Amino acid sequence: MADSAAETQPAAPAADSPTSSRAASYAHGLLQISVPVHVTLASQRKSVQEIVELGPGSIVKFEKTCDQPLELVVGGRKFAEGEVVKVGDKFGVRIRGLVQ
């Protein structure tokens, strides 16, 4: 009895097989799932007392400088870093690099 890899591993489905089209359809479906995307300028912890004292005109100062990158968080995980850009009368984030 021969012990070849071809006998022990199933062949990959042909590109036009029903299994292949189901897999492609499934993958396409996964790509359509919406996930939360957050951009974090900076963060810090404050006591409840400090938060209660905030009001209109209050300024919350952060240690992060203006030239440091923003964090793009997707699904609760840091995904990329970028910088603020103006898009018409709105703002956006230009991706400077992906996080591994």
- For the chain, 100 residues long, the average pLDDT of each consecutive 10-residue run is 47 57 82 90 93 96 90 92 94 93
pTM for the full predicted model = 0.58
Q: Which CATH superfamily is domain 35-100 in?
A: SpoA-like (2.30.330.10)
| Dihedrals phi, psi of 86, to nearest 5 degrees | -95, 130
Q: Phi/psi class of residue 75: alpha, beta or left (left: φ > 0; alpha: ψ in -120 to 50)?
A: left
Sequence spans of domains, the chain: 35-100
CA distances from 45 to 49, 51, 61, 70, 89 (A): 12, 10, 12, 18, 31
pLDDT of residue 3: 47
Tell me the β-bridge partners of 77. 74
Task: Say what the pLDDT of residue 25 is.
Answer: 81
In the prediction, which pLDDT does 14 show? 53
What is the reported pLDDT for 2? 47
